[in-house]
Amino acid sequence: MCDTLVALKNWTKNGSVVFGKNSDREKDEPHVIIRAPRKKHSKGETVKCTYIEIPQAEETYECILFKPSWIYGAEMGVNEFGVVIGNEAVFTKERQGPSALLGMDILRLSLERSKTALEAVENIVYFIKAYGQGGKCGYTKNLRYHNSFIIADFNSAYKLETADKKWALKKIEDFDSISNSLSITDDYDMLSSDAEEEFIYKKIINRKNINFKKRYENKLIAKIASGDFRRNITYNFIKEKKGNLTVEDVFNILRHHTELDSKNLFNGSMKNICMHQKSIISSETTGSMVVELVDGQINIWATGSSLPCLSTYKPLWFIDSDVFFYEEDLEKAVEFWRSERKIIQQVEEGQINREEYVKNRDKFEKELLQRAALAKTDGEKREIMNIAWKIK
């Protein structure tokens, strides 16, 4: 289970677009950061996604991906043009088909092929229509679902929610958030039935709209997943920050707890934005990312570890640096995540003094934010990244 949010320029303190997402997966599932460079591809080349192969693009763009280690795709990511996407599991009345593209595959494919948010929307719609969604999404569990997405760039953002090959699209004007439930009702701009053979975004007016959420959502599973509950938390938090939202505010909401020590063994901890596996069915936050798009700069903050309430948000930029892992380094990336998770687990279990640890974390994070705000050159950014990610 996960949560994704975005605020546009008119809603933030410094006129940036700010995007945030937690990836909630199985507790022991490694969540790695992989940098995929820009590449040219031969005519007729294919790309092996998690379950199926599809034709490769002539060129794929550089991306920083935040992903479960075992799948091709990513839970969230950003590309060299500042296109950012996050996906959410949603549970619908539409039947699950055979293994096809996972929502995470669709997310990565769209980042690799899009220069704008709207182009990414077009690509997501194409992949859903051409290949469908399907396959086991769980690390060890046979979890299957459809997907919703928030897609943003320097100037715009969109919310796209799906039920198999059916979808609803809404342009985001100020801010929005999504979770593990459908949130588009009858307020969409376009439905899948509005699209011609070639997708062109247009706001359809003067028609009788259906309620997308009511028609397609599996209410029972959505209720168990507590998606509406958590979306209300993130949505109202951003709403109250009109014109003043900062990156630090997004760190805070992604660390939010409602019922950390809930005795509800069924789904109590699923009411936390920073999710801890303390119930029979709940997930745990295995990675967290915040992206700030401002003045042509792509500023990325990531934990690279589980439980943001105990992790440090550390900066990343699209510059040459030894902090990055590439796909050929997958085993090293998994080893890094597990080593970080071990420290977090020791704090959570009381082997490391929590109060002192969090105090030192907050001080270090504040220093990183201050230094990052002043960094102008690649050399200065590289030095900050080395300090943050402990590269000597």
CA distance linking residue 171 with residue 151, whole number of Å: 10
CA distance linking residue 77 with residue 65, whole number of Å: 4
DSSP string, 88-150: EEE-BSSPP-SS-B-HHHHHHHHHHT-SSHHHHHHHHHHHHHHH-B-S--SSSS----EEEEE
Give the residue from 228, 248, 295, 254 showing the smallest Cα distance to 20: 254
Angle at 303 between CA 224 and CA 112, to 5 degrees: 85
What angle do helix axes 354-374 and 378-388 make, rounded to 10 degrees? 170
Do residues 217 and 88 lie in contact, with contact meaning Cβ atoms separated by under 8 Å? no
CA distance linking residue 288 with residue 357, whole number of Å: 19
CA distance linking residue 343 with residue 305, whole number of Å: 10
DSSP letter at 181?
Answer: B
Q: b/e string for 117-146 if b means 16 or more Cβ within 10 A?
A: bbbbbbbbbbbbeebbbbbbbebeeeebbb
Supply φ then ψ for residue 292, to 5 degrees. -115, 120
Active site residue 2: yes
Burial class (CB in 10 A: 0-12, 13-18, 19+), 44: exposed
Task: Please give the structure tokens belonging to residue 197.
Answer: 């053979």
CA distance linking residue 75 with residue 89, whole number of Å: 10
Give the active site residues. Answer: 2
